[in-house]
Structure 1
Amino acid sequence: MIHEVDEGLRRLLGESGLEASGVEVVFDAPTRDWAARRTAPTVCVFLYHIREDATRRGSGTGEVYDADGHLVARRSPPRWFELTYLVTAWASRPQDEHRLLSQVLTCLVDHDTLPARLLSGTLAELGLTVGLDTAGSALDAPAASDVWSALGGELKASLGVRVRAPLAGVATATAPPVTEGLVVRSAARREGGAAEPGRRLRYTETTDPGPDGFAGPRERGPGPARRHRRGDRRP
């Protein structure tokens, strides 16, 4: 999920025109050594804090269906996490860095969420909203000065960006659907008597399985129509 959030941010910043103007968007730690090796204008999006939003933790399980409508798995609810980034601009002059940072700020504050078209992987599959908070006052994360001190670099202008994203739950495969009914075969009490035909239980459409029972391959019919309750999300 974390790398998918990174990719969503990279795509969003790319739409602002940074990539077209030759500006790199990277996710490296802006240490002193890294800054000394930098040669091109760069926007650095550094992830430095991750914590779970326990208030959004759910319970129970959800159902996963295949293309034919058969139940194939049960999945635990997603867990929500807050990812906090330190966004900085790097150029040869402070004026150029401020221009880049202004361009980034304009792009990010225009979005309260990461657009669905920019999501990939599990974030796209879940179809849930990925929140985006830029330079907010409620960022509950280490101060920028503490981050710079830990990195061993010099303090410079930066943006705090927080993303609230879901981590997909664990899916557990279910047993295949029942496509044949139960047949009970009885035999005559006297010796040498022929076995009586199988008796159908519960499933009136069940046929006699033959001498091999249900061990042989059988075709699976279309899945049952799913009933949608009010409030269910439809694709």
Structure 2
Amino acid sequence: MIHEVDDILKGLLTRGAFAGSDVEVTFDAPTRDWAARRNAPTIDAYLYDIREDTTRRQRGKMSLRDEQGITLKHHQPPRWFRLAYLVTAWTKRPQDEHRMLSAVLHTLLPKEILPPEDLTGTLAGLGLSVPLTVSGLHNEARSLADIWSALGGELKPSLDVVITAPFLAFPEYRVGPPVTEGLGVQVRGAGGTPDDGPTRFQSAESVELAKEEFAKRNGTAGRTVQERQK
């Protein structure tokens, strides 16, 4: 799932404001040594935090259905994980980096919910909405200053991009085929052997109607079991 989110984010950036440009999109840790080797305009999306969004956790089961709405499999609901990226721009001039970050905002801000056509792999197969936030309230355990300190680099402007994606890691359970026939009635002889006649099938509706008709004929309609036994 994580690599699929990487591909989605890279696709959004390369097809958005940077389409047709020579800007490179990477996912490297922006360390001091890495920055010294940059010789081309680069947008770096460093994945610095992965944690479950427990507010989205669900219980029970989900059904996988075909085009006719028939249930094929059951599985537990997916777990949702927040993937936080530190997005930075790297060029020779700070003004150019600011323009590149502005282009990232222009590309990602309209994508509050990722369009289905942008989803790939298992994310597309689940058919669930995948939210994206840009530079929202920072609520991770580590501050951005701590992250830069751990990387050994100098603090610079960055965008905090968070994609909350479902992760399905539970086994699927097959279900039996749907019932297509009603209740089967087979007549047996006095000795208990089955009759040679074909089995007659009744729909659930016809069975209920027959029970009501039987109750009316025997005067037991609306009476309890104890009353009928007296």
CA distance in 2, matches of 1:6, 1:102: 20
CA distance in 1, matches of 2:197, 2:46: 69
The answer to whether the 8 A contact 1:73-1:171 is kept is: no
Show the counterpart of 2:146: 146
Q: Secondary structure at the match of 1:111?
A: coil
CA distance in 1, matches of 2:110, 2:174: 43
Change in 2 beyond 3 A, CA 1:93/1:76: same
Amino acid paired to 2:4 = E
**Alpha-carbon distance, 1:37 to partner:** 2.1
The answer to whether the 8 A contact 2:74-2:174 is kept is: yes
Show the counterpart of 2:17: 17
Amino acid paired to 2:16 = S
TM-score of the aligned structures, taking structure 2 as reference length = 0.73
Moved more, 171-180 or 150-159: 171-180
Q: Give the gaps of 5 or more residues in structure 2.
A: 203-230
CA distance in 2, matches of 1:109, 1:41: 22
Amino acid paired to 1:126 = L
CA distance in 2, matches of 1:114, 1:167: 16
The answer to whether the 8 A contact 1:54-1:80 is kept is: yes
Show the counterpart of 1:174: 174
Where do 1:70-89 residues align within 5 Å? 71-89=71-89
CA distance in 2, matches of 1:168, 1:90: 35
Change in 2 beyond 3 A, CA 1:196/1:58: closer
**Alpha-carbon distance, 1:139 to partner:** 3.5
The answer to whether the 8 A contact 1:91-1:97 is kept is: yes
Show the counterpart of 2:100: 100
Show the counterpart of 2:39: 39
Q: Give the gaps of 5 or more residues in structure 1.
A: 190-194, 206-235
Q: Which has the larger radius of gyration?
A: 2
**Alpha-carbon distance, 1:48 to partner:** 0.5
**Alpha-carbon distance, 1:72 to partner:** 3.2
CA distance in 2, matches of 1:167, 1:110: 24
Amino acid paired to 1:157 = P
Where do 1:87-126 residues align within 5 Å? 87-126=87-126
Show the counterpart of 1:53: 53
CA distance in 1, matches of 2:141, 2:16: 27
**Sequence identity, in percent?**
50
Show the counterpart of 1:2: 2
- Aligned residue pair count: 199
Amino acid paired to 1:85 = Y
Amino acid paired to 1:76 = Q
The answer to whether the 8 A contact 1:139-1:162 is kept is: no
**Alpha-carbon distance, 1:36 to partner:** 2.1
Show the counterpart of 1:226: none
Change in 2 beyond 3 A, CA 1:196/1:19: same
Change in 2 beyond 3 A, CA 1:115/1:65: closer
